[in-house]
Amino acid sequence: MCDLTGKHGLIVGVANKRSISWAIAQAAAASGARLALTYPSERLEENVRELAAKLENPLVRPCDVTSDQQIADLAATLDREFGGLDFAVHGAGFAPADALHNPFVETSRESFRIALDVSAYSLVGLTRAVAPLMEKRGGGSILTLTFIGSDRVYPNYNVMGVAKAALESSVRYLASDLGPKNIRVNAISAGAIKTLAASGIAGFSSILQVYRDRAPLRRSVETSEVADAAMFLLSPASRAVTGEILMVDAGMHAIGL
Ligand SMILES: NC(=O)c1ccc[n+]([C@@H]2O[C@H](COP(=O)([O-])OP(=O)(O)OC[C@H]3O[C@@H](n4cnc5c(N)ncnc54)[C@H](O)[C@@H]3O)[C@@H](O)[C@H]2O)c1
């Protein structure tokens, strides 16, 4: 059911081997998909190219998700090279460092704008660009990555929590818009994982310790576990699921105290 043989997918959000998006890319490739990976800047291009070289016949293209032009160029390339698209993974997230250290009340207008643009609006822009490619395939699956800091306060997560709330709401509105075209839009809310993005959040290790102490499974999660759940949401196994935020967090969301 989670077979992706003959499918073409886009993966946005690989920075290095610890990226959640990289684990999803590996799992999708192992399930038979051909993939396009993106990098947001020249600084990360080499990393992404090195990782992509482990995949079969990958496409590697630039895409800074704050640029409408780069999103449009990417969609045009995918149309030309793949002739359509079956699934897309949106794993881009960013907030300026000051917003992840200072009290939330100090968040500047500019940091708020950047965090919401990169981490939430980009799903809307990217979805709009790839939807016509998915229509060519009779439908598709779009997946983004979120965190429960959207709903509850986590120390120093701050404006990222606000951005994730906007992202999760966008999942539902996009699912409603695109459902008639058989394009599904879902999110995985992952438990805390030590990645590049996570290392920007002050005191992140203490969040991990709370998972070890209190989550029902007494641990947090691995990127490969998020990837396994992603295979369900990207494949026909989840063909009746859309507008969903799937918790892949060792049960942490179920705990009150
Ligand atoms: N690590 C966690 O604990 C955790 C938990 C739940 C959700 N998430 C979410 O998972 C997603 C992936 O994060 P990760 O933890 O794998 O870290 P990561 O740092 O590996 O991935 C974040 C990615 O965002 C990309 N990015 C940043 N600005 C961009 C831009 N302007 N254009 C295009 N891409 C841009 C980075 O290049 C990077 O690849 C993020 O949305 C993050 O919020 C992470």
Say how many C-beta atoms besides its own lie within 10 A of residue 247's C-beta: 18
- % of the chain surpassing 90 pLDDT: 98
Q: Which is more confident, 2 or 128? A: 128
Planar angle of CA 179, 60, 46, nearest 5 degrees? 135
CB contact set of 213 (below 8 Å; sequence gap of 6+): none
Q: What is the pLDDT of residues 166-221, one digit of tens each?
A: 999 999 999 999 999 999 999 999 999 999 999 999 899 999 999 999 999 999 99
Q: What is the pLDDT of residues 181-192, one digit of tens each?
A: 999 999 999 999
Q: Ligand 1: which of 17, 20, 152 to mutate, most ligand atoms within 8 Å of CB?
A: 20
Q: At what angle do helices 223-234 and 20-30 cross, to 10 degrees?
A: 50
Strand order in the sheet with 8-12: 59-62, 34-39, 8-12, 87-90, 140-146, 183-190, 245-248
Say how many C-beta atoms besides its own lie within 10 A of residue 109's C-beta: 7
157 is catalytic: yes
Q: Ligand 1: which of 19, 116, 157, 209 to mutate, most ligand atoms within 8 Å of CB?
A: 19
Closest ligand 1 atom to Cα of 190: 6
Instruction: Tell me, in angstroms, the distance from the centre of ligand 1 to residue 26's CA.
Output: 16
Q: What is the pLDDT of residues 42-79, one digit of tens each?
A: 999 999 999 999 999 999 999 999 999 999 999 999 99
Q: Does 130 score more than 90 pLDDT?
A: yes
CB contact set of 165 (below 8 Å; sequence gap of 6+): 150, 151
Closest ligand 1 atom to Cα of 118: 31
Instruction: Tell me, in angstroms, the distance from the centre of ligand 1 to residue 93's CA.
Output: 4
* Confidence (pLDDT) at 2: 86
